[in-house]
Structure 1
Amino acid sequence: MFLGELEKQVLQYLWSSPGVDVKRVHAELAKQRDSSLNTVQSALERLFKKGLLSREKQGHAYLYRAEVARNDLIAKLIDSVASDFVSKGESSLIAAFSSVSTEMDEAQLDRLEQLIEIQRQQLKKGDSSAD
């Protein structure tokens, strides 16, 4: 899945301000970039068609909400890129992640360690229930 720069900015805004119309999204993004209302509307439509936004008709306008959580989208994007370049069982994804982790601070590394431990526990539960 590919997201353009404007689509990323729209999602960032909608994660913090759900249930807004195109005019409000446009007004907010106009502080950062020069885009027409039609361009923002097109980005919202593309994100809706990708299943990343939901919308609800209110009067003559749609109110948009992010349909996917930020962390879930990041995971989907990483998985999408990884599946394009990494074969199953290949360790290059782990090597790439290790390289990225050099930019993390102590607290982030601690949190990552906690998440890995949770994953290990879930794997152990899955293995024991298969017996």
Structure 2
Amino acid sequence: MKPTDSELEILHVLWTNGPSTVRQVHDTLSQSRDLGYTTALKLMQIMYEKGLLSREEDGRSHTYTAAVSEEATQRNLVDRFVETAFRGSASKLVMQILGQHKASREELDEIKNLLSDLNRDLSD
């Protein structure tokens, strides 16, 4: 399931901070953007219904936890992006990214190591 941009922001807060109440998520998000408490509450209720969040009830407050991992979500978003924007070509995506953005020496070394690992896996 592909989260919306707003849902992704909420997931980032929960991945970073761990289980949180709506108030805690709202307070974090409202530091960088104008977001009403009721909007955050509604979004998190929808995300719970969609299966993106789990919820524990403790009296009147609810504590929400991300029900999807950051890695799995990133993988799904990238897969969809590669399919729709680059017609399934991962190499076109990588060439576009490296052509548009200056990578640091450390990032290039990390990419080389990843490519080396992938080549080794193909050889096995």
Could you tell me the TM-score, scaled by structure 1's length? 0.74
Runs of 4 or more consecutive aligned structure 1 residues displaced over 6 Å after TM superposition: none
Q: Which residue of 2 aligns with 1:114?
A: 113
Q: Select 1:94's aligned residue among 87, 91, 94.
A: 91
Q: Structure 2 regions of 5+ residues with no counterpart?
A: none
> Could you say what secondary structure the match of 2:63 adopts?
strand
TM-score by length of 2: 0.78
Alpha-carbon shift at residue 87 of structure 1 (Å): 4.5
Secondary structure at the counterpart of residue 62 of structure 2: strand
Distance in 2 of aligned mates of 1:52 and 1:25? 15
1:56 maps to 56
Do the aligned partners of residues 49 and 82 (structure 1) sit closer, same or farther apart at CA in structure 2, a change above 3 Å counting? farther
1:5-31 Cα shifts (integer Å, max 9, x gaps): x22321221111111111111122121
Q: Note the residue ranges of structure 1 that are not aligned, 5 or more in a row.
A: 126-131
| Corresponding residue number in structure 2 for 1:9 | 9
Deviates more, 1:56-65 or 1:105-114: 56-65
Alignment of 1:32-111 (within 5 A): 32-87=32-87, 91=89, 93-102=90-99, 103=101, 104-111=103-110
Instruction: State the Cα distance separating 1:50 from its structure 2 match.
Output: 3.9
The count of residues paired between Structure 1 and Structure 2 equals 121
Percent pairwise identity: 24
Q: Contact 2:14 / 2:65 at 8 angstroms: preserved in 1?
A: yes
Structural RMSD (CA)? 2.3
